Structure 1
Amino acid sequence: MNINEESEKDNIFKDQITKVSDFKFGNKVVNVFDDMVNRSVPFYGEMQRMTAELAADHAQETTNVYDLGCSTGTTLIGLNELVSQKIHFIGIDESEEMLNKCNTKLREAGVTRAYDLQVGDLHQDVEINNASVVILCLTLQFVRPLYRNRLLKNIYNGLNQGGVLILVEKVLAENSLFNRDFIKYYYDYKRRLDYSEMEISQKREALENVLIPYKLSENVTLLNEAGFAHCETFFKWYNFSGLIATKQ
């Protein structure tokens, strides 16, 4: 899966910015998003593949599969060929620009199943029903901490028995010493993919008050408090992780 095929190169933070604003998912980001995420998230393509195969094994016919924070639709496209046409896709994102790009990519990928793309703010109550799979791929980290527990409980209540939540997140290390190391390794990764020191610094500043990561253990606790009985880590790379949790 070549997620950069239709994306422009991410040069948003290439030039010096006098005052860096909080990161927003507007048109400027939408146009370069696929390149940005591939160069900013280690093993992004593999995480997408793993998410799709996990979702496919738990998606049930005549149910809904939700992608919350669906962005440009990469996750839904990866899942499309793995599940029955009787499964309904619902993508929710707060950015209308992202949803327009998502719809274009779904059509270009030949997705013919029924799907809905909805503008929605995950800080508010989002309707979830008849769900066998809910996906939060690099999304919960952008939800303000005060609202995360309510969102996860809403997801839990909207899942059918045996349904799963797949959660991919940037995380903090359990120990501050390792956290410093992991951040260093992460910035080394970005340098290898041609991000400059200025780009790394300015994007870090833009995300400082927008992307708020938790420790892996804190995310597991949130899932348990929401009602999920079983939770398993399926991916880990320094400060990125993937979790799957089931509703029994």
Structure 2
Amino acid sequence: MFINLIKLSPLFNSILVTALFLILGEIVSFFNLPTPIYEFILLVVYLSFAYFFTKKIDRQSLKGWELKISKQSFKGVSISLVATSFIIIFATILSQSLFHDEIIKLRGTVNFITITVTLLLFFIESFIKQGFPEELIFRGYMVQSLRKKYNIFQTMLLSVGLFTLMHAIHIFMDGLFYGILTMFYAFSFACLAYLLKSVFNTTWAAVAVHGGVHMTRMILMLFGFSENNHAIFFQSLLLFVVSLLVFFKVRNKVFMC
């Protein structure tokens, strides 16, 4: 009877999945494993419970994750990644210009090998650890589940809202101000991720937004740009503004169908 109740409540499933996402991540991190092993296990764990909820609880096809490789998905990834990177770079430069943040000079040996290794580590951190698993859950499984009961706009509000609330943990970890700022950041790029996923009909576009945000920030910090509160605020604000522009551009095509 309990399982039947879950089947009838996509919102309940989504809230449960959000809680499990946080709890399982904390459980895996508790064992203090070496980083490559930790990230591999975490990815397997997230894939497993996304599969379980999709196939066993919702009894839906994995096609609903919208992870098909195609020309359309490649187009979605390319445009989403370039647009997101440009937003983060522009916002960071704007913040630096207005607040005159100090640009820290690179230290240590800089050559092709060190840059290649660093970029590879950034890619793993941005896309494998964060971008793909989080988008699989929140823009893949969750969107598929919520759309059984809610329209596209309602699904956006619910999935983005849960993703934002998940980041409320930063209020307890990093203080009220930084926690709210982090939630605003999460809300802003989650909106853009959902919209671009809907435009291109592929979750890979959302992965590109999510991973692109983190990787571009890391690369900017590598070259000495400050990652301070006003830089984060400008990035969040510009991501939100672009999300609004995209929404009003595609609302008739995507949300009224």
Fold match by TM threshold 0.5 = no
Under a length normalisation based on structure 2, what TM-score does the superposition of the two structures give? 0.25
- Larger fraction in strand: 1
Larger Rg over CA atoms: 2
Bigger RCO of structures 1 and 2 (CA < 8 A, at least 6 apart): 2
- Larger fraction in helix: 2
